[in-house]
Amino acid sequence: MTKKLKKLRIRVILALVIYIPLFIFNITEGFENYSRWLSICIFAIPYLIAGYDVIRKAIINISHGHIFDENFLMMIATVAAFIVGEYPEGAAVMIFYQIGELFQGYAVGKSRDGISKMMDIASEYANVVNEDGSISLEDVDDVEIGTTILVKPGEIVPIDGVIIEGTSFIDTSAITGESLPRRVETGDEIISGYVNKDGYFKVKTTKAYEDSTVAKILELVEEASEKKTKVENFITKFARIYTPIVTISALVLAIIPPIILGGDRQTWSDWIYRACIFLVISCPCALVISIPLGFFSGIGASSKIGVLIKGSNYIEELSKLKIIAFDKTGTLTKGEFTVTELIVRKNEKEKLLYLASAAESYSNHPIAEAIKKAYTQHTTNKTIDTSIISKVTEKAGYGITCMANDKKLLIGNETLLNENGIKVEACNKPGSHVYVAYDEEFLGTIIINDIIKEEAKRTNQILKTIGVQKSVMLTGDRPNSAAQIAETAGIDEYHAGLLPQEKVERLEELLDNRRENESLAYVGDGVNDAPVLMRADIGIAMGVMGSGSAIEAADIVIMDDDLIKIPKAVNIAKRTMIIVRQNIVFTLAIKFAILFLGVIGVANMWEAVFADVGVCVIAILNSMRAMNVKKIQSI
């Protein structure tokens, strides 16, 4: 609780301590035998203790030309109640209004917890290891790429990098939402924002601080609050129009009926009292506070499970999700390529891998890495012989041409070999096909497959149960490989062999064929996914493996690449929207009912207090339910 809220709490408690004995005395003995001014002064004490800041804000706002707000309504209503002799009610309205403000502040603080924890994941300093082995404490903004830093037990990893020495267990919960500690060792990538649990380890930084994971997260969190939903924008506009209308209506209610009725002083007092009730009931606090709070709680709940939603408008879109499109590599699959089969003539598998790994030793492409790994794992010689390779030429998208032992070696796709006059023995087996030709002869085929994520099929099954009608895969991979992944992952429809611009075209077709009130999401992780992520109603990026451009283009970031977080986020969005609609219906129904009763003289100030403060507190408490993620976690 902030200092401001603590001070407000003290004032409210003090006001209640003074008010309650006065109220009891008033209903038992009464103040009829005392001076009217004495009664005003006595009840003004708790009134001013609780609400002096409300009056001050109202006066300041009026002086700046901002007249119609909740402070103005409360000041006018309570002062008018004192004028007509309803001192206990006037003081009570102010005290209970401040109790509502206290609840609001507490609720906002609670709903910020999930997000504010993220604000604590950034370290301001790094332990830089100097050339002489000494350690110096430096500002993270001054640490350059390639610097060696030391992370001690209990410290936050300040910058992304690779562990070059040491082992430890790390807490990833602030970034991924995963509660179980994870073991890391030399060679592992480490993300800023992780907390070192026990051992010491050294990290070689691979990014500058401003480009590191934690800096990007904090930037996205700050931007999230600026993006409002249609409902929030409507409520904001509604309050701006609604408040002056209510004020004018209350003024009409206080003046016109007594004039028409030609009433005496009591009649005037009665109608002014009704106007005060009208003002108190009409205060739009419950809507203005609880609606944004509901969305903010939804964003907080998502951050608890490791899903970063960049704005409340995306919660609204996510709740309407009906079509979801996936990239393949790194999204539905792990992005870990493995050689699954070699198609060669008898006893030439080792030769095929020997030549292919030597040629690919100059490339860091994932497929090249898979071939080199296969050679060291499946042959007797564990060292790749690069000395045989010379005159290497790599043609992007086609393959490598080089000389091996002064003979021409080709490794790549069918087009590359055909251009060099080599006839390829075509292969229709699922996977990526790498063809190899040596000394003008076709040598064989290397089949490489990506490993599908274990949770891919279950994710699609759960999405279907919560309202998603269609799942699609858009990939640049070969049709037979795409077909196998789509079938295994439970995808309804797939489109293969797509270039980045063709992915956008396919997405446009999906957008054109959906209904007006339905949303389409695209899930991707690569640089080439950025245009599609931006074009979709909801762009979802895989955070750990995802490229920086994909994460920046996306509306939602899954911080640990776990696909199962998508249906969890959809459930949070749906529940948040239900809570928001409940608050709107409940608030307006109660207010309009008691407004009507107040106008006809049935409701008194106590009902008005409930219609304002009571309804506001109930709506706030209901909004806080969106923070509960226990049921969501069980998916």
The residues annotated as belonging to the active site are: 327
From CA 324, how far away is CA 312, in angstroms rounded? 20
Q: At what angle do helices 70-83 and 230-261 cross, to 10 degrees?
A: 20
Neighbours of 403 (CB within 10 A): 15
List beta partners, residue 333. Answer: 452
Express the helix, strand and coil content of the chain in percent, nearest 5 each.
Answer: 55, 20, 25
From CA 336, how far away is CA 432, in angstroms rounded? 13
Tokens 């939603």 sit on residue: 309
Q: Are strands 148-151 and 125-129 parallel, antiparallel or unpaired?
A: antiparallel
SS3 12: helix
Nearest to 214 by CA among 317, 140, 296: 140
From CA 572, how far away is CA 224, in angstroms rounded? 16
Exposure class string for 209-239: b at 16+ Cβ within 10 A, else e:
beebbbbbbeebbeebeebbbebbeebeeeb
From CA 252, how far away is CA 242, in angstroms rounded? 15
DSSP string covering 570-591, please? HHHHHHHHHHHHHHHHHHHHHH
List beta partners, residue 182. Answer: 170
Write the DSSP symbol of residue 169.
E
Nearest to 475 by CA among 457, 490, 459, 493: 493
CB 542 within 8 A of CB 325: no
CB 96 within 8 A of CB 616: no
CB 351 within 8 A of CB 549: no
CB 588 within 8 A of CB 260: no
Nearest to 596 by CA among 284, 259, 283, 282: 282
Write the DSSP symbol of residue 144.
P
Strands annotated E in 220-372: 307-309, 321-326, 333-344
What are 293's two structure tokens?
């709070």
From CA 502, how far away is CA 523, in angstroms rounded? 16
